[in-house]
Structure 1
Amino acid sequence: MDHSDSAHQRRGALLAAFACTLVGASFTANSVLSDFPHAGGQAIRYALASLMLFPLVGRPGLAPLRTLGWRGWGWLAGLAGVGMVGFNLAVLAAERTSEPAVPGVFVGCAPVVIAVIVPALDGRRPARAVLCGALLVAAGAFTVQGWGRADLPGIAWSVAALGGEVVFALAALPVLRTVGPVLLSAAASAVAAVEALVLAVLMDGRGWLRMPDAGEGAALLWQTLVVTVIGFVCWYRGMQRIGPERATLFSGLIPVAAAITAPAVGAGGYGPAQAAGSLLVGTGVAVGSGAFGQRLRGRRRERVVASGAPGVAADARAPAPARRGTARGAGGAAAGPEPGPPGSPAKAPPAGRAPRAARSAPGDGAPSGAGPREG
């Protein structure tokens, strides 16, 4: 992995971590909206978010939506209905009969599910590091939140919330490749607003919406601007860079951020259990994202360079294209004298053939080719 690719991966990890931290901090805002019409509130939230996001795309940027076809719009409808509106309704329903920690624990298992499903869809085995990291993240989420009081309906709705979290990651993949993070967030928010409006009218009738008070208005504005507009775009940009398996690992930061911010509004405390769980989540993210492996490989490379072995230090510091160019000349012929057996003098090139100069690879001394495409 070269430096540009490493920086690309690091930016993706930071974006995913930032998005999940915003979502976790928004849990305190959700408690303010417990008495507000939920489906109607979601309809307003997503409608306002789409109105903010579409101008960022611009009219020329809307062209990819015409190429989605019925299948692409089906993925968008599933993403909005199950991963956005359905997820929020499932969490609310679970919290009516169980403590909030119960759906939080189930949603904390999303990294494990993603780590198994995504490789299976690609016809490969789960990466051992990602799976181990996902298990650590799930254990950390459980430690941070605890279990709490639960009943059968609460557990069933919590499982539904877990399904919504998984769909939120997986259903975006086919569309993300075509439309990009910003347009995806704008289109999904618009579809979610329509779906939430239909549910609101069916569930609450004429009372599907009312004027929010100051606290409810601030909470809706936070969900709209911070969580949806900023958080969604950062999440999908991060997932575009590092993939859903590693991006979902950072969802373990959601309960950690919620536990850290809860004391600010008197909704909980941050004690030894939360600190231990946060440490588990951080370890799981580091293991699953490959941070430990990259550090070990970097140290091993430094030891090889510092060992001073003949021909190793200089070769390790040289770019890969340069090593290939200096090892062989044009046509694959040896560029210099041919080595003989150990202790014997080097053989000269065949008579009548002058030694060919080593052909420099294109871009020697500078990064060759373009780096990873930005989202």
Structure 2
Amino acid sequence: MTAQDSAIATAPISVRGGTLLSAAGVAAFSLTFPSTAWGLESFGPWSFAALRTVLAALIALGFLLGGRVPVPARRHWGPLAVVAGGTVIGFPLLTTLALGTSSTSHAAVVVGLLPLTTAVYGAVRGHRYPSRTFWYGALAGAAVVIAFAVEQSGGALSTADLYLFGALLVCAAGYAEGGRLAREMPGWQVVGWALTGCLPGAVAGAAVALAHEPVHLTARGGAGLVWVAAGSTFCGLYVWYRGMAAIGVARASQLQLAQPLLTLVWSVLLLGERLSAVAVAAAVAVLVCITVTQRARS
């Protein structure tokens, strides 16, 4: 990537263009769980999580080197570590472990709380005090998801649910810190440096995991790995940040509300899962709760 290409990548775009980019990011994210389920047909959970990071980090490193992007200032290293720990390591690993025993539709409903948990983390981190309506919506959404998880697991939270709730917490921290950091550097560079910083550990982790987990490579398994690395992890975040910069966080967040419902659709079309009425009702209820919190924030 030349300096001219880098300038084009960060140039202002229209509201319509920003909306299309944000929508493309949401579509990419909605395919993450079905692609992970495909990938687990070929790889063990630890191998898959490590390999997706290795591939995404290599793509990011290529863009950073091609654009001759300088190393971030020391004051940015801490926030970048939070972004890396939450969105590059924590969320992919925990959701991959959860999908080893959970359906994608179940995971989509639970992780549908991500915009809400990110908003809560951002409010606390930024010392802002949202209205009571915001907190009522947040608590109602959390109650819906917990009730759904308990009902689906036969009266108690399963191990997969614990993984998913942990993924919510770490990813919320990563998203919020990444959003704060994106005010000082282009969003794609935030993602790029977070990925690149994880490359050495991911390579070592992949070597260890592949030595202990069998690999049965299939077309679907390979496609799932390539998509979560190139599509969801790098390209999805790239267009998401570009779109968000153009139309603002509030408007982009409204588009992200459709992500859990899109994932439910993909789980039927790509995986042949059968959706229960409870899953659909819970997803819609979470959508309503998050809409309330978004409007309360604005």
| TM-score, with structure 1 as normaliser | 0.60
1:72 Cα deviation from its structure 2 partner: 1.8
- Post-superposition CA distance 1:261-315 (Å, at most 9, x none): 2222343235766665665566556655559x9xxxxxxxxxxxxxxxxxxxxxx
Structure 1: runs of 5 or more not aligned: 1-6, 294-375
- Count of aligned positions: 282
Q: Secondary structure at the match of 2:183?
A: helix
Are 2:187 and 1:181 equivalent residues in the alignment?
yes
Q: CA RMSD in A?
A: 4.0
1:224 is matched with which residue: 215, 221, 229?
229
Are 2:54 and 1:47 equivalent residues in the alignment?
yes
- Alignment match, 1:254: 259
Q: Work out the CA distance in 2 between the residues paired with 1:11 and 1:290.
A: 23
- Post-superposition CA distance 1:147-172 (Å, at most 9, x none): 52264533432221111221231231
1:56 Cα deviation from its structure 2 partner: 4.5
1:197 Cα deviation from its structure 2 partner: 2.7
2:78 is matched with which residue: 52, 74, 80?
74
Please state which structure has a larger fraction of its residues in helix: 2
- Post-superposition CA distance 1:302-343 (Å, at most 9, x none): xxxxxxxxxxxxxxxxxxxxxxxxxxxxxxxxxxxxxxxxxx
1:216 Cα deviation from its structure 2 partner: 1.4
1:8 Cα deviation from its structure 2 partner: 6.6
Matched residue type, 2:203: L
1:1-375 superposed matches below 5 A? 15-35=21-41, 36-56=43-63, 59-63=66-70, 66-69=71-74, 71-96=75-100, 103-127=107-131, 147-149=151-153, 151-202=157-208, 204=209, 206-207=211-212, 210=215, 212-240=217-245, 247=252, 250-269=255-274, 280=285, 289-290=294-295
- Whether the 8 Å contact between 2:57 and 2:195 is mirrored in structure 1 is yes
Q: Work out the CA distance in 1 between the residues paired with 2:52 and 2:214.
A: 12
1:192 Cα deviation from its structure 2 partner: 3.3
Matched residue type, 1:113: T
| TM-score, with structure 2 as normaliser | 0.72
1:234 Cα deviation from its structure 2 partner: 2.1
Q: Work out the CA distance in 2 between the residues paired with 1:280 and 1:180.
A: 34
- Whether the 8 Å contact between 1:43 and 1:193 is mirrored in structure 2 is no
- Whether the 8 Å contact between 1:50 and 1:189 is mirrored in structure 2 is yes
- Post-superposition CA distance 1:231-266 (Å, at most 9, x none): 111222344456667655655433211211222234
Compared CA separation, residues 13 and 287, structure 1 to 2 (3 A): farther
Structure 2: runs of 5 or more not aligned: 1-12
Question: Which structure: larger Rg?
Answer: 1
Q: Secondary structure at the match of 2:69?
A: helix
Q: Work out the CA distance in 2 between the residues paired with 1:129 and 1:241.
A: 28
